[in-house]
Each structure stands twice: as structure tokens, then as C-alpha cells.
Amino acid sequence: MMNTGNSAGSTRPVYSELGNFISTRYQENYDYELSQSTVATGSCGVGSRLPILQNMLNQIDEKPKILLMGLRRSGKSSIQRVVFHKMAPNETLFLESTHKIEKNDVSECSFIKFQIWDFPGHIDFCDETFQSEAIFLASCAIIFIIDAQDDYHEALTRLHATLESAFRFNMSIKFEVFIHKVDCLSDDQKMDIQRDITHM
């Protein structure tokens, strides 16, 4: 997996190596299903009414929040299960698509604690009922996952829309882009994909 990040005052990703993560000991699933009619149509599509996220917002505490976003089947949940739940990578092949927003409390020691919010790929976060302003204001970072083995033009369209929406409400939010599923590619192929995505 390759990692890109935004530098101060710029929205263009800068590539770097993926750093270490700390493990999680707690997970909470929100018990409402997201309607399939709420799919995002390209950049900022007009989805039908999403359930109000007031339950989640009411639970906002002082822990830093990281939003895990990307298209369907890009590997968001797989990354989370391997990094935070110590699942073997080959076991992630059998994971079902995420249909609920999952909130994970991550803590390994008393002074490092944060939350990961895993968003299903079909959410239209530009919908009014998603409460984008409250979500982005309460978050310190977004991790956006791109599947290197898929056509990433749609992913980049969603990425740009996410960037615009997030920075509209929170100019200090950090942004990281992970290029996933590159382990079976050669170094030259990895560089080609990295260059393509950076300059699109």
C-alpha cells in the first residue's frame, strides 16, 4: 500500500511511505442500514435522504477523529481489520461490503487515543442530511483509499469532491490518500500508477 498526504496550504498529494499504526480494542457498529438509493453520482450527486447522523454527532468526544473514505470494494475495511484487528490479509478476501458506518476507538497507551470512522463507499456525503459540516468540523483527518487494480478515474472524481467539501468546512483537516492493492505490482507499475494519480 502506498500513501500520499497533503502539505500545508496545498491540496496536491505528496507521496510517502505508510507509517505505523496502533491497535484497537473497541468497535461500535451503527445499527441503521444505508439505502442503496443514496449512492453518490460522480462528484457530488443528489442522493435520497440519508438517516440523520445525530446519534453519532451526539457522541462526539475529545478524541481525534479520522474518517476512512473511498469507493466500494477499495479495501477500506480490509485495511482497518488488518491494521487494527490483526486479521490476516488473506482472510479479508471474505469480508462483505460495509453497509453501516463503523466507529472504532483506537488506543494502545494512555496518551495516544483516536477514533476511526469507516464510511461505506456508496454514501453521498454531499446530501444535506449527512450533516457534512458537523462531520468534517469534528474530524482531524481523512484517509481516502484508491484501488490500484481498478479504474481509478471515478475514485479521483470522488476524491476531488471530498477534498472540496472537507476544506469548505475545515481548512485545517489533514488529508491522506492510500493507493491500495499494489503488492502484486512491479516497482515500475507502482511508479506509473503513482504518477498517473498524482497528475490526474
**Per-residue model confidence as pLDDT tens digits over 8-23:** 444 444 433 333 332 2
- Calculate the average pLDDT of the chain: 67
CA-angle at 142, arms to 193 and 125, nearest 5°: 100
% of the chain residues with pLDDT over 70 = 54
Rounded Cα distance between 107 and 61, Å, is 14
pLDDT on residue 87: 66
pLDDT at residue 59 is higher than 70: no
Q: What's the pLDDT score for residue 78?
A: 76
Structural domain range at position 78: 2-7+21-32+55-199
Q: Which residue has the cell 511511505?
A: 17
Strands across the sheet containing 112-118: 13-16, 2-6, 174-180, 141-147, 65-70, 112-118, 102-109, 24-29
117 in a domain, yes or no? Answer: yes
Q: Provide the domain count of the chain.
A: 1
In a domain, 45, yes or no: no
Inside any domain, residue 128:
yes
Confidence band of 25 (pLDDT split at 50, 70, 90): very low
State pTM to two decimals.
Answer: 0.63
For residue 174, the tally of other CB atoms under 10 A from its CB is 16
Q: How far apart (Å, rounded) are the C-alpha atoms in residues 185 and 99?
A: 30
Does residue 178 fall inside a structural domain? Answer: yes
Q: Check pLDDT > 50 for residue 128.
A: yes
In the predicted model, is pLDDT for residue 145 greater than 70? yes
Whether residue 131 is contained in a domain is answered as yes
Q: What is the CATH number of the domain that holds 119?
A: 3.40.50.300
43 occurs within a structural domain: no
d(CA 84, CA 104): 9
Reduced to 3 DSSP states, what percent helix, strand and coil does the chain have, rounded to the nearest 5? 30, 25, 45
CB 77 within 8 A of CB 93: no
> Which pLDDT score is estimated for 97?
67
Name the one residue in this structure whose C-alpha cell is 469532491: 161
* Neighbouring residues of 48: CB distance < 8 A, sequence distance ≥ 6: 35, 37, 38, 127
pLDDT at 199 > cutoff 70: yes
Looking at residue 131, its pLDDT comes to 76
Residue 49 maps to a domain: no
Distance CA 160, CA 138 (A): 20
Q: In the chain, what is the greatest distance between 2 CA atoms, to the nearest angstrom?
A: 47
pLDDT of residue 13: 43
Other C-beta atoms closer than 10 Å to the C-beta of 157 total 16
pLDDT tens by residue, 85-123: 676 766 556 666 666 777 877 776 666 778 888 888 777
- Given a contact cutoff of 8 angstroms between Cβ atoms, the answer to whether 50 and 38 are in contact is yes
Percent of the chain's residues with pLDDT above 90: 4
DSSP letter (8 states) at residue 98: P
